[in-house]
Amino acid sequence: MYHSLLDKTSKILIEGFENYFRNFKELTSYTPRHFREKDWRAMKENHRKRLMLYKDQVFTTKSILYDLLKEKVADYDFWKKAKLAYILLSKERKDKELAETFFNSVIRKLYPDLAINEELMFVHEGFNSCEIYPNDNLYFTYPANWGLQKIIRSIIADFDFEAPYLNKEADIQFLVKAIREVILSRYTTTDETVTQVLKSVFYRNKAAYLIGRTYVGGKWMPFIIPFLNGPNGVYVDTLIFDPKIMAHLFSFTRSYFMVDVEIPSQMVAFLNSVITHKQVHELYNAIGFNKHGKTEFYRDFLNHLDHSEDQFVLAEGIKGMVMTVFTLPSYNIVFKMIKDYFDPPKTMTRQEVRNKYKMVGQHDRVGRMADTHEFEEFHLPLDRIHPNLMQELRSTVNSHLEIRNNELIIKHLYTERKMIPLNMYLEQCSLEEAKSAVEEYGDAILQLAKANIFPGDMMTKNFGVTRQKRIVFYDYDEIEFLTDMNFRWKPKPETFEQIYAFEPWYEIRPNDVFPEDFKKFMIGRQDVKSHFIEYHQNLFNPDYWTSIQNRIKNGEWIHALPYPNKIRFRPEEEV
Ligand SMILES: Nc1ncnc2c1ncn2[C@@H]1O[C@H](COP(=O)(O)OP(=O)(O)OP(=O)(O)O)[C@@H](O)[C@H]1O
């Protein structure tokens, strides 16, 4: 009886995982068709569906096991054995690290108050324990002795998207020219020179990306080729060699790619070799396995805790009215907790804040909103909490804290990439840096608008500056869909009372926004204020906001390019 229960449990778990992965692959497999047919609505919907799969499958598997196991769900020894039985079923799998994460997710939902537990869960395994599989099937190979023209022609032929091209021959010549200028001007090809391009195409929004590398000059030179499908057909938009731009395509501020992956660890290992400065957990996120990305992140965090001694402290900057934010100075992450009580004028509920964070997780982040991971029962060593932080936690998030065995247990928090709050950055940077930061700040707001996001609170304290000096929004509690807002010019006062009124004399409804007023509060630093106002005149024009709104309402999906306009092969009018 006991044995058959163990067998059944491990089988239900592995079947749950297989079902999830099968559905994941199936939804991903629709993407080339959506790209080919320019069915952007389906592309968006499909991506959203894929994001829901994991949670839904964990819930289903948990419910089946709950009915099967009843009071056994809290039996420690049973789960110890169930883990062993699961290992037998999963250890030969090529996606075993994802299967382990799935096991962890389900047991965390089933077993009462389960902390991270090495006997019952897979805590330290993961990517590093994955077998290394031969790479040959992962990419197409193009030897240098074919000559540049033939190589490029073959690449374009291998990835023809089964759709009409705008001008294939012109694309080939653009690519040849770019490679001559960037690579062949610096390196000479030898017998060893070879080019590899991943067979799987990376799709996101309205674009498709090929990822490859060329071995030349004694090292691998990675590259990315973006394709778009415009009104006159498919075309190569540019060729990216710049490692910063490549890293930005894989940034935590972007949605996950839709890409066919056979062996996740193998794909991550390849990406790791071409996309610099990205950690393993970020790469799993980028290819859509964000739950496993969360597991890998947590491993990295535990490892970091073991190898550091500093204390958790409050994050620098202006304290939030809704969130309490802390960090470990030696680690590039902040931890965000929803406060027990919100400071006025904030009136939303805890659940509403959680919904806003969830909305960001499911929305296109267009390189301007930070991704978060959500944790329950997060354990921190008590002696690493600075007394001042402890005091702040006690007074703002006490109902979510518990102390057990020298550990601080936090019932719910979000983790997010640490950035320099823009208000702080502007206080200490040079005039030139400030100018480009405020330009970026306005660009960020307008790009969010084009993705149908209105940040609500647009003060500089709610934006961060990344290592690459990009400006990213991180305060989600007042976020709204742009299409729900009502942008208005301020009515002109006519009577004496109206002219000298202290309060607005006209009616203001909850979603009314007066862009003319943004000038007053958006930039505190005086020496860049006029530059900002001059540079971003559209920001203060309600008609401009309404025009973006209308485009979105008319069904247009405005594509934000994740690379600068100036590197594109053709001007917009020619596509
Ligand atoms: N990703 C981050 N990196 C660095 N610091 C951050 C980050 N997120 C938040 N902070 C710091 O924590 C403060 C509060 O964070 P956040 O704006 O998310 O909270 P909030 O309560 O929603 O704010 P508000 O009161 O504006 O609604 C910020 O002003 C900033 O100083």
To the nearest whole number, what is the mean pLDDT of the chain?
A: 93
Answer with the one of 78, 113, 148 that is the final residue of a domain: 113
pLDDT confidence bin for 501, thresholds 50/70/90 = confident
Please give the average per-residue pLDDT across 168-194, as a whole number: 91
Answer with the one of 418, 440, 472 that is the final residue of a domain: 418
Counting atoms of ligand 1 from 1, which one is nearest the CA of 343?
25
CA distance to 48, 417, 532, 569, per residue, from 425 (Å) = 35, 16, 16, 34
Residue 563 CA neighbour count, 13 Å, CB half: 23
pLDDT at 189: 85
pLDDT confidence bin for 19, thresholds 50/70/90 = very high
Q: Which residue would you say has higher pLDDT here, 500 or 547?
A: 547
Asked if 371 is an active-site residue, the reply is yes
Does position 2 have pLDDT exceeding 80, yes or no?
no
pLDDT at 504: 85
Q: Mean pLDDT check: name the lowest of 335-344, 445-454, 502-511.
A: 502-511
As given in the structure block, the two tokens for residue 98 are 């994802």
Q: Which residue would you say has higher pLDDT here, 437 or 510?
A: 437
pLDDT at 210: 98
Flag whether 303 is in a domain: no
Does position 186 have pLDDT exceeding 90, yes or no?
no
Ligand 1 pocket check for 320: Cβ under 6 Å = yes
Task: Give the list of residues 6+ apart from residue 372 with CB closer than 8 angstroms, or none.
Answer: 336, 357, 360, 361, 414, 415, 416
**Do 568 and 512 lie in a common domain?**
yes
Flag whether 119 is in a domain: no
**Do 197 and 97 lie in a common domain?**
no
CA–CA separation, 289 vs 485, rounded Å?
A: 34
Residue-by-residue DSSP string for 87-124? HHHHTT-TTHHHHHHHHHHHHHHHSTT----TTTS--S
pLDDT at 128: 72
Does position 1 have pLDDT exceeding 70, yes or no?
no
CA–CA separation, 333 vs 372, rounded Å?
A: 10
Q: Using DSSP bridges, classify how beta strands 323-327 and 207-216 pair: parallel, antiparallel or unpaired.
A: unpaired
Does position 117 have pLDDT exceeding 80, yes or no?
no
**Do 107 and 149 lie in a common domain?**
no
Ligand 1 pocket check for 315: Cβ under 6 Å = yes
Give the E-state strand segments of 177-327 in sequence order.
194-198, 202-204, 207-216, 219-230, 233-236, 313-314, 323-327
**Do 263 and 319 lie in a common domain?**
no
**Do 426 and 414 lie in a common domain?**
no
Q: How many angstroms does the Cα of residue 511 sit away from the middle of ligand 1?
A: 23
Does position 149 have pLDDT exceeding 70, yes or no?
yes
Residue-by-residue DSSP string for 471-500? EEE---TT-EEGGG-EE-PPPPP-SHHHHT
Q: Which residue would you say has higher pLDDT here, 186 or 69?
A: 69
Nearest residue to 532 (alpha-carbon basis) of 389, 387, 431, 381: 431
The 3 state secondary structure assigned to 556-569 is CCCCCCCCCHHHCC
pLDDT at 264: 94
- Owning domain of residue 15: 2-113
CA–CA separation, 117 vs 558, rounded Å?
A: 46
Query: Ligand 1 pocket test: which of 252, 427, 461 has the largest number of ligand atoms within 8 Å of its C-beta?
Result: 461
**Do 358 and 434 lie in a common domain?**
no
Flag whether 124 is in a domain: no
Does position 314 have pLDDT exceeding 80, yes or no?
yes
Flag whether 145 is in a domain: yes
Nearest residue to 137 (alpha-carbon basis) of 195, 199, 193, 92: 199
* This prediction's pTM: 0.92
pLDDT at 336: 98
Flag whether 120 is in a domain: no
Q: What value, to the nearest 5°, has the Cα angle with vertex 104 and ends 102 and 109?
A: 100
**Do 487 and 383 lie in a common domain?**
no
pLDDT at 269: 92
**Do 180 and 108 lie in a common domain?**
no
Counting atoms of ligand 1 from 1, which one is nearest the CA of 353?
22
**Do 160 and 276 lie in a common domain?**
yes
CA–CA separation, 177 vs 179, rounded Å?
A: 5
Q: Using DSSP bridges, classify how beta strands 486-487 and 512-513 pair: parallel, antiparallel or unpaired.
A: parallel
Counting atoms of ligand 1 from 1, which one is nearest the CA of 462?
17
**Do 323 and 362 lie in a common domain?**
yes
Q: How many angstroms does the Cα of residue 52 sit away from the middle of ligand 1?
A: 27
Total number of domains constituting the chain: 4
Q: Which residue would you say has higher pLDDT here, 105 or 130?
A: 105
Flag whether 279 is in a domain: yes
pLDDT digits (tens, 9 = 90+) for 200-218: 999 999 999 999 999 998 8
Please give the average per-residue pLDDT across 533-554, as a whole number: 96
Flag whether 189 is in a domain: yes
CA–CA separation, 72 vs 62, rounded Å?
A: 13
State what percent of residues in the chain have pLDDT above 70.
99
CA–CA separation, 434 vs 440, rounded Å?
A: 10
Please give the average per-residue pLDDT across 237-254, as a whole number: 94
Q: What value, to the nearest 5°, has the Cα angle with vertex 538 and ends 534 and 544?
A: 165
pLDDT at 337: 98
Of 171, 371, 475, 477, the active-site residue reads 371
* Rg of the chain on CA atoms, in Å: 26
Query: Ligand 1 pocket test: which of 368, 475, 521 has the largest number of ligand atoms within 8 Å of its C-beta?
Result: 475
**Do 553 and 454 lie in a common domain?**
yes
Q: Mean pLDDT check: name the lowest of 420-429, 430-439, 498-507.
A: 498-507
Please give the average per-residue pLDDT across 361-380, as a whole number: 92
Flag whether 134 is in a domain: no
pLDDT confidence bin for 307, thresholds 50/70/90 = very high
pLDDT at 182: 87
Answer with the one of 418, 438, 457 that is the final residue of a domain: 418
Question: What is the complex's ipTM, to 2 decimals?
Answer: 0.89
Give residue 126's region: left, alpha or beta (phi > 0; psi -120 to 50): left
Residue 155 one-letter amino acid: I
pLDDT confidence bin for 158, thresholds 50/70/90 = very high
Please give the average per-residue pLDDT across 119-141, as a whole number: 80
Does position 416 have pLDDT exceeding 60, yes or no?
yes
pLDDT at 119: 84
pLDDT digits (tens, 9 = 90+) for 329-358: 999 999 999 999 998 888 899 999 999 999
**Do 444 and 548 lie in a common domain?**
yes
